[in-house]
Amino acid sequence: MKPSEEADVIVKHAFESQRKLRIAAKVGLAFPRIKERIVREFVQSLVGKLNPRLGKSWAVEDSWSEAPLVRGSYIAAYRTTWNENASIGLHCEKTGPSDLDFFIWLGKQKTPLVAELKEALDERYAHGQRGGSNPWWKFVDPPYRDWNTEEALIGLWKQHEAVEYYTSHLLRICKIAGPFLDKICGK
């Protein structure tokens, strides 16, 4: 059944009685809180998995848990020696959250190594884009790019597969980008 057909069945069911309409209204009002909790718990699980796998020379910043559904939320991994001049992470471009992307953020350092960093990621991970303070970024693959769908929310709630997906991608990006960022930030 298509999502629009499922929604029609739910709407029809809600109008069968006052009791069913009250239940539907309560679920609708509670849904943003349900979604917020799923996203917050997922992100905390992801950060909990990343920290030990990255090791002691890395830190992970989590702005997502504070505002799980807000545009611009992110988690960012960085080596403490980078003095907050660079990070590697996951970011949401749109409220919801949706349009998630993996990114490299770099402060004002201008060096030929920045182009080499992008080239290495393009060749060894996946072709990305460049913009602003991000010498490389790439949208997350479907179905993990948009956390507004039923399937994505169930996957985030189950955690295991989705946590492994994001962890493995972020670790791979860190492995490629880390040595470049060490040199750029003057490790």
Annotated domain spans of the chain: 32-184
* N-term to C-term CA, the chain: 55
The DSSP call for residue 148 is T
| Residue pLDDT, tens place only, 19-52 | 999 999 999 999 999 999 999 999 999 999 999 9
pLDDT at 187: 64
> How far is the CA of 136 from the CAs of 102, 153, 186, in angstroms?
9, 27, 19
Q: Is the pLDDT assigned to residue 108 strictly greater than 80? A: no
**pLDDT tens sequence across 120-157:** 999 999 999 998 899 999 999 988 999 999 899 999 99
